[in-house]
Amino acid sequence: MEITGIIKSIKATEKVNEKFSKREFVLTTEASTPYPQHLQIQLTQDKCAVLNQFDEGNEVKVFINLRGREWQDKNTLQTKYFNTIEAWKIEKL
């Protein structure tokens, strides 16, 4: 899947644990409409460095995978669902 937009912000790489790193950025889509969408997208592991060649304000095409997971609280037995937009390639337009 791919999406185009303007990079609004880029965060630093975050080392979650010894084996996992992620880097997030915000992509603004539909910027010329009354309701622009600001999507938080992440890159993981060796893909974190991909963002080094981009700046805030760049118009880009982002190739993404949608991820979802289920989590159950062991105390309350409540189930929650989390979604992630994970990029695997970015191209400057």
Strand runs labelled E in 1-93 = 2-10, 14-17, 20-29, 37-44, 59-72, 79-92
Q: What is the pTM of this model?
A: 0.86
* Whole-number Å distance between alpha carbons of 62 and 29: 11
| Segment 68-75 mean pLDDT | 93
- pLDDT attached to residue 10: 97
Domains and CATH numbers, the chain: 2-92 (2.40.50.140)
pLDDT digits (tens, 9 = 90+) for 28-59: 999 888 999 999 999 999 999 999 999 999 99
